[in-house]
Amino acid sequence: MLTAFGSFLLLLLRTLIRPERLSVLWHRTLKEAVLIGVNSVFIEGIVSSFIGAVTCVQIAYNLTNPILPKSIIGFMVREMTILELAPTITSIVLAGKVGSSIAGTLGTMRITEQIDALDVMGINSASYLVLPRIVAALFMFPLLVMLAMFLSLLGGYMAGTFTGALTGADYVEGLRLDFIPYNIAFALIKAVVFAFLVSGIAAFQGYTTRGGALEVGAASTAAVTYSIIAILLADFALAGLLL
C-alpha cells in the first residue's frame, strides 16, 4: 500500500514537471471536460431526480406527527440533498462511469505502447494524458453537483405535489427555512476533493497497467473500487473537519 501511494505521488509530480504547452493542455482539458461532464449529464439527471423524489416520498411517509408542519419535508429534503446526497452520490456515480473510462483508456494506451511512444518522442506523457483529466474533473464535478442539487430538489417538489404529500407552497417554504449558505460551499468543497480522488486514482490505475486485456479490466475495476472507498473516507473526514 505504501509503495502504491508513493508511486501515485510520483505520478502527480510528473504531471507538473516539464508540462506541455498551455495551448495543448487547454485543448486537451476541454476535450476531457466534454467526456467527463457533458456526457454524464443524462445519467446524473436521472439519478438525482429520482433520489430527490424518493427522499421526499419516504420522509412524507415517516412524518406521522400531526404537530409538525408539512414544510419540514422540504427542509429535510434540502438538507439531505445539499449536505450528502448530491455531492456524494454524484461522485460515486461518476466514479463508476468516468473512473472506469479513464482507467480503461489509459490502460489500453499503456499495453499497446502508445504511452511509451509519447515518451520516446520527448512528450511528457503524464502531463499530456493525466493532467488534463484531473483538471477537467476538478472543473466539471462541482458543476454536476450543482445540477444534481437542483434536479434533486425539483424531483422532490414534483413527487410531493403529485402524490399529494404536501402542497408546492409548503415544499418551497421548507426549502427556505433556516437556510445556511455555507452548506453550499461545503458541498462544492466535497465535490472538488472527490473529483481529485476519482480522476487521480483512475488515472494512476490505468497509467501503471502492465500486461494485457485482462489487466486493463482489472485496472478499471480497481479504479472504481478504490475511488468509492476514497470518497467515503474523505466524506467522513471532511464532515468532521468542516462541519
Q: Residue 67, exposed/middle/buried by CB under 10 A (0-12, 13-18, 19+)?
A: exposed
pLDDT tens for the 243 residues of the chain, in order: 788 888 888 888 888 887 778 888 899 999 999 999 889 999 999 999 999 999 999 998 888 777 888 889 999 999 999 999 999 999 999 999 999 999 999 999 999 889 889 888 888 888 899 999 999 999 999 999 999 999 999 999 999 999 888 888 999 999 998 899 999 999 999 999 999 999 999 999 999 888 888 889 999 999 999 999 999 999 999 999 998
Question: How is 158-205 classified by DSSP, letter by letter?
Answer: HHHHHHTSS-HHHHHHHHHTT--THHHHHHHHHHHHHHHHHHHHHHHH
The secondary structure of residue 51, as a DSSP letter, is H
**What's the predicted TM-score (pTM) here?**
0.91
- The CA distances from residue 113 to 69, 93, 133, in Å, are 64, 30, 20
Contact 155, 50 (CB under 8 A): yes
